[in-house]
Chains A and B, each alone.
Chain A
Amino acid sequence: MPGHDPVDDLVRRSIANAQGAPAGFGARVRMRAQGDMAARRRARVAWLRAGVSVAAAALLVAFVLMYVDFTPPAKPDTAQGNEAAPAPAPQAETPTPEGQPKPGPDAPAPKEPAPAANDPLPREPGNGSPKPQPEPEPKPAPEPAPKPEDTVETPKPEPKPEPGPTEAPPAPERVLIATVPENVKLRLFENAQWRDAIAGDPIVAGTRMQARRGNVDLLLSGGEQVRFDGEITLGVHEGALLAELHDDGLYADNLGFERELLVRGEGLESRLTAGAALFSVSSGALTATCLEGRLTLGGDVVERGTERKATSRAVQRAKEFQGDALLKGIPARVIARYDFDVEPTGGLYGDGERLEGGAVVMDQKPYYIGFRHNATLTVLPGMCVRLRFRCTDVERLELEQFLADNTMFKHVWTPAKGSDWQELELKLADIPAREDAGMRLQAGDALRNFKLHFVGNKLEIDWVEFVRLQE
């Protein structure tokens, strides 16, 4: 043990002035403990209700298995026999117990019946709600029995295993959230243990993930982009994308999508609607920063460019956002890309362009390359147009973007000399209107087509893409 030292006195006296716990500290701890006790009580009631529901469902299933005849109808030899055959057991009528207890963070996601054995991993529906059942609504009555004349021509059905009490429950549906991209250090919690993910691994709803080193960038199957640097579980909840944040930070971008993002962490909740935001958890608090769109935290709005921190006690006042390392180097989110291996869906309209070796080429009047977007392309905040092109004796290029009402936005520049491929990246918000230089393309504008006019001999475009960059 280090003995007594005069320095200790100095340190003691220097810290002696420091206050201990502030007034009301104990009361705040007590308040949180009481809140915690109430929450535990509510959870117990919820578990009890869930238990009753499960027991009721089990009883119902047992009743059905005991008293409903699952024997398949006899092969209809005659019309008479066919009519007399018992109705097949309805497939979708087994009730799903509601209010089942929510599994813990490490538990597998809630499972849903698979639509078919040969499609174990259906993709999650786009922006809409996840399809709760692969089958349509259960019909009140079974399909009418085939008519005798049909019976003769109907091929003999494949022999099916006898349904009965020993039949295994339907395979659970696994909602695909994303696939693991290349060069990502990520661990997945599966079968009660962590494992390193490899590129191409499916990430299904409810899988807990951990960034092993640095940030993990994922493009979700619904189109949203996320980045995280800690631990997270992604899933779906009532039509929204659900992110349970266990540790560190999350960046999410669902601009242009109807599907909302629900972020939960430390028992608190935040909701992002068509926007981009940062979230982080630490010390019993959830912090949310609005970069774009609409964001709420614990029911309070977080304005664009500000951040708010919520604890179980309150949502703190907004602070101006000062930046976050998690935003550094976020990959561009590709909104639309045209590679010219085939003609764009909306069609080329330059009257003379031709596709050659994966590029579109033009070397005659009317000296432009133009194509229509499939429907329209909505401008998002931070959106840029990028293109790779090559010029032959071209002295000027004019990039023209048209809105649905024919308003033209135009950017003119002189390309580098030579015959090398060049790339251009241009923020859409920097492109002025032809008639009014003070007017710029802005978020929400709907682009109808792309046109690159040139003054010179020949223009080739390898690809064009519209991306969103988070600043």
Chain B
Amino acid sequence: MDHTDDMLVARLRRSDLAALDAIVAAHQDALVRITRVVAGDDARAHDAAQEAFVSLWRNPEAFVGGSLRAWLITVARNVALNEIRATRRRTARHGKSELRPPSDPALKVAGADRLAQVRAFLDTLPEQERTALTLFAVEGMAQAEIAAALGTSEGAVKQAILSARKKIRDRFDDSS
């Protein structure tokens, strides 16, 4: 448990804007990065991350301890997934989706370097797998913290990470 975060949240309960600034500064980059992985585009990621901070501001009592970063990721991820669901419903009629890149990343990023291909391939993985792997590999979060953020068990997180790794390895065998 991060005592700094706890103290900042306690100050939020007194409507201390400086505390909000400190929380935003500490977590904004990670939150935007992870919601971009979930949502697939910048605009939606920014909106979802912003919504998570505003939710905390409006109702700091909702955070009852533990990892503040995990809590923020949970809220932002839910917002992003809801938005995706709504957009999918809205575009379903025309049988097209603006949500995911093409399933074959090689087609999308033909000529681009290997890292771009990995990034594009990551977007094709199931949401829980790519989010779990990103939180683990990029944000360095512990398995328990990831489980709390995704609202699932540690075992499921472990399985998601292993599955995502295997798919990436199968695809980019020579580079890994």
Contact A11 B54 (CB under 8 A): no
Residues of B4-36 whose CB lies within 8 A of A:
15, 17, 20-21, 24-25, 28-33, 36
Cβ proximity bits A322-338 to B, threshold 8 Å, 1 near / 0 not: 11111110000000000
B155 to A: closest C-beta gap in Å = 11
B162 within 8 A of A: yes
Contact between B33 and A11, CB atoms less than 8 A apart: no
Instruction: Tell me which of A9, A11, A29, A328 contacts B20 (CB under 8 A).
Output: A29
Give, as a whole number of angstroms, the nearest-CB distance from A69 to chain B: 52
Give the contact-size bracket for chain A: 35 or more
C-alpha spacing A262/B57, complex, angstroms: 29
| Pairwise interchain contact A325-B92, C-beta atoms closer than 8 A | yes
A280 touches which of B15, B86, B158 (Cβ 8 Å): B86
- A8 contacts across to B, CB distance below 8 A: 133, 136-137, 165
Residue in B closest to A22 when the chains form the complex, CB atoms: B46
The answer to whether B24 touches A25 (Cβ under 8 A) is yes
**Residue B49 at the chain A interface, CB threshold 8 Å:** yes
Interface string of B115-129 (1 = CB under 8 A from A): 110110010000000
A280 to B83, CA, bound (A): 10
Known: A15-B134, A20-B33, A29-B20. A10 touches B175 (CB 8 A): yes
Cβ distance A426 to chain B, nearest Cβ, rounded Å: 25
In the complex, A282 has a CB within 8 A of chain B? yes
Contacting residue for A18 out of B36, B47, B91, B142, CB 8 A: B36
Q: Which residues of A contact B83 (CB under 8 A)?
A: 282-283
Are B119 and A14 neighbours in the complex by a CB distance under 8 Å?
yes
Chain A residues with CB under 8 A of B42 = 22
B94 pairs with A7, CB closer than 8 A = no
Q: Is A154 an interface residue (CB 8 A)?
A: no
Partner of A283, one of B31, B47, B136, B169: B47
Question: Is there contact, CB below 8 Å, between B17 and A30?
Answer: yes
Chain A 1-28 per-residue mask, 1 if CB under 8 angstroms from chain B, else 0: 1100111111111111111111001101
Contacts of B47 in A (CB 8 A): 283-285, 311
* Interface flag for A32 (CB, 8 Å): yes
A96 within 8 A of B: no
Say whether, besides A33-B20, A36-B57, A325 and B15 are in contact (CB < 8 Å): no
Nearest CB of A to B139, in Å: 9
Contact A283 B51 (CB under 8 A): yes
B149 at the A/B interface (Cβ < 8 Å)? no
Distance between B60 CB and nearest chain A CB, rounded to angstroms: 11
Q: Mark B87-113, 1 if CB is under 8 A from A, else 0.
A: 001111110000000000000000000
For B113, the closest partner residue in chain A by CB is A14
Specify which of A7, A15, A25, A33 is in contact with B176 (CB 8 Å cutoff): A7
Are the CB atoms of A7 and B168 closer together than 8 Å? yes
A contact residues around B25 at 8 Å (CB)? 26
User: Is residue A345 within 8 Å, beta carbon to beta carbon, of the partner chain?
Assistant: no
Q: Assess whether A15 is in contact with B37, with CB atoms less than 8 Å apart.
A: yes
Q: Is the CB of A2 within 8 A of B162?
A: yes
Bound state CA distance, A328 and B58, in angstroms?
A: 37
Q: Is A248 an interface residue (CB 8 A)?
A: yes
CB neighbours (8 Å) of A229 from chain B are 89
Identity of the chain B residue whose Cβ is nearest the Cβ of A6 in the assembled complex = B176
Pick from B30, B92, B118: contact of A11, CB under 8 Å: B118
- B119 CB contacts on chain A under 8 angstroms: 14-15, 18
Closest B residue by C-beta to A327: B93
- Who on chain A is nearest to B80 by CB? A283
A11 touches B134 (CB 8 A): yes
Set of chain A residues within 8 Å of B118, measured between Cβ atoms: 10-11, 14
B172 interface residue per 8 A CB criterion: yes
Q: Are B15 and A37 in contact (CB-based, < 8 A)?
A: yes
* Chain A neighbourhood of B24, CB < 8 A: 25-26, 29-30
Task: Check A2 against B136 for contact (C-beta < 8 Å).
Answer: yes
Tell yes or no: B48 within 8 A of A by CB: yes
B165 engages A15 (CB within 8 Å): no
Q: Is B89 touching A14 in the complex (CB atoms < 8 A)?
A: no
A34 within 8 A of B: yes
Which residues from chain A sit less than 8 Å from chain B, CB to CB?
Answer: 1-2, 5-22, 25-26, 28-30, 32-34, 36-37, 229, 248-249, 280, 282-285, 311, 322-328
Can you give 12 A-B contacts (C-beta < 8 A)? A8-B165, A15-B122, A15-B134, A17-B115, A26-B21, A29-B20, A33-B57, A37-B17, A249-B89, A322-B91, A325-B91, A325-B93
A22-B32, A29-B57, A283-B83 known, 14 other contacts, Cβ within 8 Å: A10-B176, A11-B133, A11-B137, A12-B138, A15-B119, A16-B138, A20-B28, A21-B32, A25-B46, A30-B20, A36-B54, A280-B86, A283-B82, A323-B93
Interface set of B (CB-CB < 8 Å, partner A) = 15, 17, 20-21, 24-25, 28-33, 36-37, 42, 46-51, 53-54, 57-58, 79-80, 82-83, 86, 89-94, 115-116, 118-119, 122, 133-134, 136-138, 142-143, 158, 161-162, 165, 168-169, 172, 175-176
Q: Top 5 A-B pairs ranked by shortest CB distance?
A: A20-B29, A21-B28, A8-B137, A325-B92, A14-B118
